Amino acid sequence: MSALSRGRHPAQESTPDLPTEAYRQAVDQADIAISITDPHANILFANEAFSRVTGYAPTELIGQNESVLSNHTTPPALYKEMWSRLSEQRAWTGRLLNRRKDGALYLADVSISPVVDAGGRTSHFLGIHRDVTELHRLERVVRNQKLLIETAVDAAPMALALLDQQGRVILDNQEYKKLVSDLQVPEPAHCILDALEPAWRSIFTNDPARCAAFSGEACIDRLGGRTRWLSATVSPVDLQSDCADSYFCTTGQPGLLLVISDVTSLRESRERDRAAALRVALTEEERTAAVREGLSAALFRLDGPMNMMASAIGVLRRRDPVVAQVLEDALAESRTHMEELRNVIPPMPREIRLGINLNEILRDVLEISTARMLAAGITVDWRPTGTLPAVQGCPLQLRMLFKALVDNAIEAMNVKGWNRRELTVASDVRNDRIVVTIADSGPGIPAELRHKAFEPFFSNKSSGRAHLGTGLSRAQQVVSDHGGIIDLVQSPGGGCTALVEFRVDGDPI
C-alpha cells in the first residue's frame, strides 16, 4: 500500500513516528478540557484542564458516565439530537448546562467527535469541553444593552440615521422609517444632506471632521404634499470594521450620525409672519413700480411728439425764424421739465445677491397670491422638485418676477364664463439648469403676440380672448439681470405656459 493510500503525505515518510507517550502528555497538559469515553459515554480519560473545569479529580471521573456532570435541566430534545448525530458518526457541537462537584452551575460549550476503528465502528468519543459561563454572561449583557439602546432609539421623538463611509444607512429608528414613508424618497438622510451641503459625499470621504458644520435646517418639498422643514444635527462617528483583516488596525472607518427633528410647525408659524411682512413689502414695491412704470410710460410717449416738434421747428426756422425761436424756447422748457420728471422716478431697489432656493421664492409667491386665487376659483397644482441647488440672485426682484407671472396667469383665467381655472407651478433641474414652469388653463396667447408681450408698456386687455401680458417687460428685465431666459409657449392642453431658466453656476444662458 502506498503512502498516499494510507493517508500519509510522501514528505512524512522520512519523519519518525511520534511516541505514544507524547500524544498522551500533549492531551493531558492541554489548556482545554478533554475527555475520552467509551461508546456508552463512560469516562476512560480526563485531562487536568477537565478536572479544573468540573472540580472532580481524574480518579473520581474515571469509570463515571458523562451524565454525572449534567444538571438534568438541559432539554431532552438536545440530547436526542446529539445522540442522533453521534450514531451517524458525525461530530456534534452545542452547549449544555452542567454542575460542578461543589454544586455550582456552569455553561459548557461541548464538542464531541466519534473515534472510528479500522472496522468502521465507533470505539470511543473524544470530548472537548469549555466553560463559557462568563462569555454567555457578557453576550447577554451586550444583547440586553443592544435591546435597551434600540428601544431608547426607537422611542426617541426625533429621527436617527447612521451612515457608513459609502453613505449607506446602517442604523435607523422608527421615526426615520416614518420619514421614508412620508417623504416618499429612498433615503431622507441623503435628501437632507444634499440640501445642507451638495458636496457632502466628497467632503465626507476626504475630511469627515468637516461634516459637523453641515448641521442646520433643510426644506424638503413633496409632490402634492405639505412642505417639510427638518432640523438636522450631523456628527462624525468613528466606526470599527468587523472584517478579520482589521483586527490589528487601530483606526476605524468614518460614519455620520444624523439626528433629525421636524420643525415644520414652527417654521410655518414663522413663515406666516414673514409672508405677512413680505406681502406688505411686495405691495409697496408694486405700488412704487407702478409709479415708476407710469412716469416712464408718460415720458416715453412724450418723446415722440417732442421729437416731431423738433423736426417741425427745423423746417419752420427757414420760413419764420421768430415763430421757430418761440417754439424752440417752449420745447427746451418742456425738455427741462421732462428731465426733472425723469429725476423723480423712484429708482429700482438695490439688493445684495444671495444664494437662493427658488422653491422658497415660489412658495412665497403662492402664499401671497392665495387669497386672490381663491376669489377667482383657481386651483393650484404645486410640483416642486425635492431639492434645488441654490442660485445667486436678488430675493425681492425674483419674487416680483414670479408674482408678475402668477398675476398674469390669474388675469388670463379670471374672465367671465371661463370654467377651467387651473394653475400649475413646477420646478425642476435639467442638466445644469433650473427650470421653473408656470402654466395656466386660460385662453392662451396668439403666436404673433408672444414676443410683443415682453415689449415695454404692452397690454392686450382690450381683447377678451388673449393672454394679458401685463408686467412681462419688467419680468424679462429681472430674468435678464440674473442671466436667465424667459419664454411663453402654448400649453398642450390649452392656455399659456411661462418658462424661466437659470444656470446652476450663475453664468448667463
Lowest mean pLDDT among 47-51, 223-227, 258-262, 290-294: 223-227
pLDDT tens, residue by residue, 431-483: 889 999 999 998 888 777 777 777 765 665 544 444 444 467 788 888 998 99
CATH number assigned to the domain with residue range 17-136, chosen from the 4 options 3.40.50.300, 3.40.30.10, 3.40.50.880, 3.30.450.20: 3.30.450.20
15 or 30, greater pLDDT: 30
Sheet containing 159-163, strands listed edge to edge, beginning at the edge strand earlier in sequence = 169-172, 159-163, 253-262, 228-239, 216-220
Lowest mean pLDDT among 288-292, 306-310, 411-415: 288-292
Residue 162 near residue 257, CB atoms below 8 Å: yes
Distances (CA, A) of 24 to 50, 55, 147, 491: 14, 21, 47, 94
Domain ranges for the chain:
17-136, 156-240+251-262, 268-343, 354-503
39 pLDDT exceeds 80?
Answer: yes
Query: In terms of Cα–Cα distance, which of 304, 349, 298, 288 is closest to 457?
Result: 298
Joined together, the cell numbers standing for residue 41 give: 459515554
Residue 361 near residue 398, CB atoms below 8 Å: yes
* pLDDT tier, 65 (very low <50, low <70, confident <90, very high otherwise): very high
Rounded to the nearest 5 degrees, what angle is found at the Cα of 259, between the Cα atoms of 253 and 391? 95
Q: What gap in Å lies between CA 488 and CA 490, rounded to an integer?
A: 7
Residues 241-268, mean pLDDT to the nearest whole number: 79
281 pLDDT exceeds 90?
Answer: no
Residue 62 near residue 46, CB atoms below 8 Å: yes
Residue 116 near residue 87, CB atoms below 8 Å: no
Phi, psi (deg, nearest 5) at residue 293: -70, -40
First to last CA, the chain: 88
Phi, psi (deg, nearest 5) at residue 153: -65, -45
Query: Count of residues for the chain?
Result: 509
Phi, psi (deg, nearest 5) at residue 154: -65, -30
pLDDT tens, residue by residue, 191-228: 899 888 888 988 888 888 888 888 888 888 766 667 78
pLDDT at 7: 43
pLDDT at 459: 60
**Amino acid in the structure at residue 53:** V
Q: Which residue matches cell numbers 410647525?
A: 265
Residue 261 near residue 218, CB atoms below 8 Å: no
Query: In terms of Cα–Cα distance, which of 214, 162, 159, 165 is closest to 181?
Result: 159
Superfamily of domain 354-503: Histidine kinase-like ATPase, C-terminal domain (3.30.565.10)
**Are 17-136 and 156-240+251-262 in the same CATH fold?**
yes
Determine whether domain 156-240+251-262 maps to CATH 3.30.2290.10.
no
29 or 351, greater pLDDT: 29
**DSSP annotation of 246:** G
Distances (CA, A) of 417 to 420, 421, 423, 439: 9, 11, 17, 20
pLDDT at 342: 80
- Say which residues have a Cβ less than 8 Å from residue 126's Cβ, sequence separation at least 6: 34, 35, 36, 112, 113, 115
Residues 14-31, mean pLDDT to the nearest whole number: 76
- SS3 state of residue 240: coil
